[in-house]
Structure formats: structure tokens, C-alpha cells
């Protein structure tokens, strides 16, 4: 049987195409996630202005990078504040009573 030639698609990405409802839903979801970030991590892109796939891609990239940056910075701040522990130390020892009558042996 002879193979059937199937043309390859030229590309599915078109930055000038109108944004789909799936991309708009993702933009709205990321807009909500962006609200929980500190103001210095907010993007300067107005989400309601997203009209094309290219606009959506720029917004999604900006917010995703901001989220990653915010988490990286928060992790670095937590690492700076944590007290350094000595290796093998599991905290203070608890003294207990070991016998039935309450006296230590």
C-alpha cells in the first residue's frame, strides 16, 4: 500500500489572531492570582486590553514570571530569617520520670 501524503501545518501560533475564550479564561485566572502578589510584582499590562493571542502571551508570561520571582524572593527572605541549627541537635531534652514511684533511677 502506498503512503498517503499529509501536508504539515504551517503553524498554529498566530499572534495577531483574536484571543480565544480559553486564553481569556487563563488571562482572568492569572489576573486573580496577580492580585494576591505584593504590588511591586504586578505587571503593567491591563488584562482587559488583551485582544489578540500575542497580547495574551505577553500578559501570561509577565504574570508567570512575576509569580516565580515573588516566590523566589520570599524563599530567600525566609532563609535569611531562619536561625541556624547545630547539626545533630533535635531541640531541648525533656527530663522525665522513669519509675513507677516517680523517682529517677
Q: What is the pLDDT of residue 99?
A: 59
Compute the distance between CA of residue 19 and CA of residue 13 in angstroms, rounded to an integer: 11
Whether the full predicted model's pTM is greater than 0.75, yes or no, is: no
Q: Is the dihedral of CA 53, 55, 61, 66 positive or negative?
A: negative
Question: Each residue of 7-51: pLDDT tens digit?
Answer: 877 777 789 999 999 999 999 999 999 999 999 999 989 989 999
Q: Is 11 left (phi over 0), alpha (psi -120 to 50) or beta?
A: left
| Average pLDDT, integer, range 75-81 | 85
Amino acid at each position: 500500500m502506498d503512503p498517503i501524503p499529509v501536508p504539515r501545518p504551517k503553524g498554529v501560533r498566530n499572534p495577531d489572531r483574536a484571543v480565544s475564550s480559553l486564553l481569556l479564561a487563563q488571562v482572568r485566572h492569572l489576573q486573580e492570582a496577580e492580585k494576591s502578589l505584593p504590588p511591586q510584582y504586578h505587571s503593567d499590562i491591563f488584562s482587559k486590553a488583551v485582544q489578540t493571542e500575542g497580547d495574551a502571551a505577553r500578559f501570561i508570561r509577565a504574570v508567570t514570571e512575576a509569580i516565580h520571582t515573588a516566590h523566589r524572593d520570599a524563599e530567600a527572605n525566609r532563609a535569611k530569617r531562619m536561625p541556624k541549627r547545630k547539626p545533630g541537635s533535635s531541640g531541648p531534652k525533656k527530663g522525665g520520670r522513669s519509675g513507677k514511684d516517680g523517682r529517677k533511677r
